[in-house]
Amino acid sequence: MMKNGHHQAGKPGEDAEASPVAVACSPEKRRRIVRVWCDGCYDMVHYGHSNQLRQAKAMGDYLIVGVHTDEEISKHKGPPVFTQAERYKMVAGVEGGGPGAPYVTTLETLDKYTSDFCVHGDDITLTVDGKDTYEEVKKSGRYRECKRTQGVSTTDLVGRMLLMTKAHHSNIGNSEYQQHTDNFGRGPKGHSPWTGVSQFLQTSQKIIQFASGKEPQPGDTIIYVAGAFDLFHIGHVDFLEAVYKLSDKPYVIVGLHFDQEVNRYKGKNYPIMNVHERTLSVLACRYVSEVVIGAPYTVSKDLLDHFKVDLVCHGKTEVFPDRDGSDPYTVPRRKGILRIVDSGNSLTTDDIVQRIIKNRLLFQARNQKKEAKEMAVIQAMKRREEEKAKERAQAVL
């Protein structure tokens, strides 16, 4: 699913040591390939995960991603939203993945996959008994830290979906949303900075980091698809992969509808992710070349001409009419360039929401338990800092 999941000297699939560049160098000058390990639940893969993998990849030459099993996640954290098969597939675009990675990262795991070190965000991951899952590799010096993406987490997204079962809310600041944040992600001893509901602030730098920066080349087939792509999931990935495979040289442009437009045709409290969050999630997909932020709902002649579109694709899902009741795909249909693509995956955002609602109490308990463990660690760290401060003060005296 992730774009540029790994980088390796030489051509893709070619052994690094046998690449033309490596052969031309003397053994003394030949640089050793640095292998980086990342692991996690990767449940509801979002742009925060993509950003972690992007940062980890930049620390070495070859990225290996380990995905925890359902059993491991349920034991230490609580029930995952997606099955392990779905989660494996979401990160399958990262070559060298290690399905079934243990929840606690050990030196044995790093050695098994011949990894130099592992990379994790600057939050904390705890076992069922409250221990740091990276303690062993930290002590051995084989641990690196990357910046956690602020404003999104699987915990946050699950919380937003749980809110779907209540009355509609007009904005994030109303009393019902505040009650949701208090009930969903707050333990008895305060609020953890790593768990709970937060707001995402888009910046141009974030978009640049995720964008491919590639322009269409002569001979490329420019394919346009449009939609909400809310809670970017494996159903979306399978659809985009099927679209990508329609051509030998595809250039896939995704048109993302503004939040108000999505709410018009989806109703309820959709979209769960705002247009800025959805932009980064779609840009992280390896099959996507460009994203149109706030694309018009109707695919017009002007839009097709502007992007020089060769094909327009839509899934087998329902097509909602535009505000005036017209078919949004009238123009590409008449031009004979509309393709209905069957990805073989019928999973929808609604299906994911229903999974959450069905296990509402389990997910609420999971997040409250997670935050309680995190708060215990934070308080212990605070006590240690206070003790050190006292020791320094006494030393001065």
pLDDT tens-digit series, residues 18-50 = 322 223 434 444 568 999 999 998 888 888 888
**Average per-residue pLDDT for the chain:** 79
Residue ranges and CATH numbers for the domains of the chain are 35-146 (3.40.50.620), 154-171+200-396 (3.40.50.620)
Two tokens, residue 393: 């003060």
Two tokens, residue 94: 């990262």
Band the pLDDT of 287: cuts 50, 70, 90. Answer: very high
Q: At what angle do helices 154-163 and 175-185 cross, to 10 degrees?
A: 130
Better-predicted residue by pLDDT, 359 or 254: 254
In the predicted model, is pLDDT for residue 255 greater than 80?
Answer: yes
The region of weakest confidence among 115-124, 253-262, 316-325, 362-371 is 362-371
Give Cβ neighbours of residue 317 (< 8 Å, ≥ 6 apart).
348
Better-predicted residue by pLDDT, 370 or 70: 70
- Distance between CA atoms of residues 56 and 64, nearest Å: 10
Q: Look at phi and psi of residue 128 and say left if phi exceeds 0, alpha if psi is from -120 to 50, else beta.
A: alpha
> DSSP label at 18?
G
- pTM equals 0.74
